[in-house]
Amino acid sequence: MMIGRSVASLFAATAMMLVAPAAKAADVGIEAAPAEAAIPGREWTFSVAPYLWGAGLEGDVGLFGRDPVEIDMSFGDIFDNLRFGGMVVAEAHNGTWGVVVDVIYVNIEDEESVTRPIAGVPVSLAASVETSSLTATIMGEYRAVSRPTATIDLMAGARIWSVDNDIDISLSAGGAPLAALSGSDGSTWVDPIVGIKGRVNINPSWYVTGWGMVGGFGAASDVTWDVFGGVGYQWNEWLSLVAGYRALGVDYENDGFVYDVVQQGPVLGAVMKF
């Protein structure tokens, strides 16, 4: 029974796929330029914003058609098993129309083994889980409000989720292999999504920013949502720093694969404008 519980726990660890579809994600809520520079009809501006999202993960994850496993992981739990991760937003805007692309990639691996004596013979069960996830969001933007101290953009587009889980399990007795099992499960899907984001300048240096998004609508996920709020500091004309908090949820199920989770945690980003 202890071995069984260990394997179930390891399967639950595959839920670390987000920081996805972790990872899970959309535009980090950072404007490409200060609000006072967003004048309709002006030339295009471009920005690149690498960021960190210290998100935990909770919800239900199911693989291979089995009953979903309830998970509750802190960002520290996920970070301990992180092999590679990257998050970046790029945006182009001309003061009226814009395009924003957000990409998150995470690769996580976890290993676990249990050894117990049975009839005097040491029996070992070892398992490893590797999860890779890619979340890419692309949205068109229309600037509905453009004032010297405030902007509001309406957004519509799509969010692509892709998750792959590789599991290897081996059983041995007295050092001799008895059985081995390996398999892969995951899914790729696309959700339509709409939203609104805005920025208000408090003074020439400080501003507040945020967004709200909703999507899925049964096209792939039953529903997905994404909210963010933060405070920014305009360091100079080309560099801005933003800190805030983000929460993202998704409810997806297809062919025995279940991903019904909420990810949330602090965000820290740097926006470089060109």
Question: What tokens were used for 6?
Answer: 């260990």
- Residues linked to residue 161 through DSSP beta bridges, in sequence order: 135, 189
27 vs 266 pLDDT, higher one: 266
pLDDT at 151 over 70: yes
- What residues does each domain of the chain span? 45-273
Neighbours of 5 (CB within 10 A): 10
If you ran DSSP here, which 8-state letter would residue 67 be given? P
- With b meaning 16 or more CB within 10 Å and e meaning fewer, what string describes 241-255? ebebebebbbbbeee
Say how far apart CA 59 and CA 187 lie, in whole Å.
17
Does domain 45-273 match CATH 2.70.98? Answer: no
Q: DSSP letters of 165-183?
A: EEEEEEEEETTEEEEEEEE
pLDDT at 166 over 60: yes
- Residues linked to residue 100 through DSSP beta bridges, in sequence order: 91, 139
What does each C-alpha distance from 130 to 3, 19, 168, 207, 256 come to in angstroms? Answer: 20, 14, 9, 40, 19
Using one digit for the tens of pLDDT, what is the confidence trace for 174-226? 777 777 767 778 899 999 999 999 999 999 999 999 999 999 999 999 999 99
Region 29-49 average pLDDT: 61
Say how far apart CA 107 and CA 129 lie, in whole Å.
11
Q: What's the pLDDT band for 113 if we cut at 50, 70, 90? A: low
Lowest mean pLDDT among 20-34, 124-138, 235-249: 20-34
Region 258-262 average pLDDT: 89
Give CA angle at 168 (220, 166), nearest 5°: 25
Residue with tokens 């300048």: 201
